[in-house]
Structure formats: structure tokens, C-alpha cells
A and B are shown apart, each in its own frame.
Chain A
């Protein structure tokens, strides 16, 4: 037995000493190699990346719970303090929204009758998957988050990620039980948008700052601070009309947009499956939920 292990170590010995001497250099080379292969989108590297992220997703989910509890607690304390003001504000807002609801119902019925007159096809309904943010892009050079929904929940690459306030980003990578959302202020984010009032098309391009830019805007387009920006369906991936942000500054060099999303408040994201190949919902009524009428 001792002989055999001796002969085994005599085989491995040269490798071991080689490794000890050159480990550092080899690892650096390995890192460079990974970088090149990652840049060249080698499938194997992409798969390995997904596998590691999938393996770490449960740990991140576990860790994100206590952090969320603490931040919820702080939030609750803040809310308790502002309860009275908040209540007054909500009452006022409720009154206003009631009027808006009336307008919306009228428009909805008018829209329906006009659609039936013109034979306009009903847009396919969107499905949502709501996912919890489990990892914040910790690096200073990347704006992305990890969520705990993946292929298992039918999340697919390219879907829009929304918060209650507006568009947050787009699904960039999908694993079995996680997905990475590229936020719209990331360097690599490009999102087709419309200026809501004038219907001018543009591309919303992030540059890692909090204020992404509008690119490829028509030179004749009239844009001024305060204009709302919504998604356009031109790339085919996004539902049209999702709120994105407002134009905050217009200068000769660039047009900057302030997104509606509050970045630090992203706790849950709705991933919108706007699948054009889906069978369209035949009953248009089901697209807008009816308000609950309080019983007598």
C-alpha cells in the first residue's frame, strides 16, 4: 500500500511542484482567458456562468430575507411617523383618481366601440411573473440585479422588468431559478422608446449614471423637459406604452431622462411576458379588471 501511494505521489509530484511555482501566473492567464471568452460570447462560459449563478441563487435568497426585514422595519417606522399626512394626501389623491376612473371607463367603452367599428385586432394580454430581488449589482461598473425567478417560472430573455412606478430594465440572462435584469441605466442597456406626446421614436441608452440619454432622436423632433417617455413596441420585445421616465434636460449634446423607478426601492420586479405568438384574449373585458363595487 505504501509502495503504491509512493509511486502515485512520484507521478503527481512534478505536477504539484509545477503548480506551486506557476499557480499565480496560470491563474492570471486563466482570468484573462475567461475575460476574452466572455467577451466573445463562448457558449460554454455563458453556461458556466448561469450554472454558478443558479447555484448561488438559494444562498442569496436566504440572505436577502433578513436584509429585507430590517429595511421593511425602518420603512414601517417612517410610515408610522408620516401616517396622518399620508392619509390626507391619499384621500385627496383618491378623489382625483375616482374622477380619472370615470374618464377611463368612458374612454374604454368608446375605444371598444371604435375598435369594433374598424376591426382593430385586440392586443395580446400580458402575463406577469413577480420576482423578488435577491442580488444587487454590487459592482460600481454594472447596473443589474438578480431575481429569484427563471426558466422554471417561464421567464425569458428580453422581457420587460417593471416596478409599480415604471420600467426598470430588461431580462438579460435566464437560469433555471434566477434571472439577471439589466437595469435601464446600465452602460449596455438600449431600449426603444417613444416620446409620449409627439410619438417621436428614440433609443434610451444608459451610461451607468442615474440619467440615461436619448439617442437617435430625429433632429426635427420637438422635445422639452417634462415630456413623458414610454416604451415603444418597435423592437417587438416590449409592450408599447409602459411608462419609463420624464425628460429632465435638453441640450445640444444630449437629452437626459429621469426614470420613474426609484432605484433603491426595487424590492420586487414584475417581469412582463408580452408574447405576440400567444393566442389573443378574445374577451376584451378581461383586460381591464372591473372595480369592486361595494356591496350594500
Chain B
């Protein structure tokens, strides 16, 4: 059966939703909030999104999109180019390889997996930045960001689940 143009557009829009939303999150993370101390401590929204979609719908989230999102995020935040890309690719690769461990298990397991993975990716970023700066960079802001990211993961995951069920299909 052949699909009409409108139907094909609809399918295309639904299928590109995960990538588009994650790109949107990269922008939202950079919006100035004006809240005390939150300027440097914004939860790593894109890390959460990449983890979620790599585990539950990797067919809609190619590695090239991960690269692109990392690139945009690096440019917006002013991080040395490549650092954010590598971190996201790391999250993507490991969660894709281990997705069977999380699928059809309680959410709690995925949460723990995410906590471990994002800790490793944060350390990776810290290591790369420290090597490039030639000194050990302060880790406190990164630690707060990590804790905030872990704490907010269930909320974001709920939103992703809703989008996944009702819009992506």
C-alpha cells in the first residue's frame, strides 16, 4: 500500500521526534535562568535523552544525530569542541550495547545504570578538560550537576515515556 504525502510526512515527523526533542533540550539547557548558582549547574538534559532513546528506540536515534547534538551543545556552552560529543557518544555506545540489561526491567535498574554511566561520562569530560587545560579543573560544579541530573532523571524519563507512547509510536 502506498502512503499519501501527508501520511509520509506524519510518519517522518513522528520518527524524527526523538532527535528533534533532544536537540531542543540542548538549547533549553543554555537558557539563562537568572536563578542563583544555577548558571553553571544545569542538569545534563541531553545525556538523559540520549540514554533513554538509545535504550528504548535506538532505531530512531542514529549515532550521527548524537554527534550533531554534541556538536551543537559544545558550541552553545563554549566547551572545547569534541568534549561533549565524546561524552554523548560514550553514553550512546555503552547504553546501546547494554540495552538488554535495561529493557523490560523495572525503571529502577535503568536509573542505576544511568547514574553509573553519567558518572563515567562526567569523569571523562573532566579528564579531557583537565588534560587540555594542563591543570586539574575544579570538580565541584560538575558534582552538583551530576547530582541534579540523577535526581531529575525520573521526571525527564516520564516525559520521554509519554512522548514515546503517544507521539512516536
Q: Chain A interface (Cβ within 8 Å of chain B)?
A: 23-24, 27-28, 30-39, 45, 49, 52-53, 56, 59-60, 63-64, 67-68, 71, 75, 133-146, 180, 182, 187-188, 207-209, 263-267
Contact = CB atoms under 8 A, between A and B. Distances in A.
Given A35-B128, A67-B32, A140-B145, A56 B67 contact: no
Contacts, number: 155
Closest 8 CB pairs of A and B: A35-B82, A71-B34, A140-B142, A140-B141, A31-B85, A38-B81, A139-B77, A144-B78
Contacts of A141: 79, 83, 125-126, 129, 137, 141-142
B132 interface: yes
B159 interface: no
Contact of A60 (B27, B62, B86): B27
A135 B89 contact: no
B85 A34 contact: yes
A27 B65 CA distance: 10
Given A24-B89, A67-B34, A139-B79, A264 B39 contact: yes
Size bracket of the B interface:
35 or more
A264 B128 contact: no
A187 B67 CA distance: 26
Interface of B: 27-42, 62-64, 66-67, 70-73, 75-86, 89, 93, 125-126, 128-129, 132-133, 135, 137-138, 140-142, 144-145
A264 B40 CA distance: 9
Given A28-B89, A35-B128, A142 B35 contact: no
B103 to A, nearest CB: 20
27 contacts: A27-B63, A28-B86, A31-B67, A35-B80, A35-B132, A52-B72, A53-B76, A56-B76, A67-B33, A136-B42, A138-B40, A138-B73, A139-B77, A139-B79, A140-B40, A140-B145, A141-B125, A141-B137, A141-B142, A143-B40, A144-B77, A182-B78, A188-B133, A209-B138, A264-B33, A264-B35, A267-B32
